[in-house]
Amino acid sequence: MNAIVGLVLVVHVAVSVGLIVFILLHSGKGAGVSSMFSGMMPTTSSGTGIIEKNLDRITIGLAITFSITLLILMVAYKPV
């Protein structure tokens, strides 16, 4: 295993854990991180919408990174 594959593998594992965490942070039906922080957020029309929107962006970014590292590992990894 060369250094590039090792580095991509480490990134892939870190992104996998991050993806699990951020998916679990999403709200179901009235429960989740958005409703948990709604008491601390100022009362505006978009109060918890900002948190959910940022969670969505982070989750999508992690999913794209996961897919790219998966494709790189599929091409570059050669078992011994």
Q: With contact defined as beta carbons under 8 Å apart, do 19 and 62 qualify? A: yes
In a domain? residue 6: yes
Enclosing domain of residue 60: 1-26+49-80
pLDDT score of 32: 54
pLDDT score of 42: 55
In a domain? residue 44: no
Classify the C-alpha dihedral 2-5-8-9 as positive or negative: negative
Cα separation, 4 vs 29, in Å, equals 42
In a domain? residue 72: yes
Each residue's pLDDT tens digit, 18-69: 999 999 988 766 555 555 655 555 555 555 678 888 999 999 999 999 999 9
Residue 51 neighbours by CB distance under 10 Å: 20
Per the structure, the count of domains in the chain is 1
In a domain? residue 34: no
**The overall pTM is greater than 0.75:** no
pLDDT score of 80: 74
Each residue's pLDDT tens digit, 31-44: 555 556 555 555 55
In a domain? residue 36: no
3-state secondary structure of 45: coil
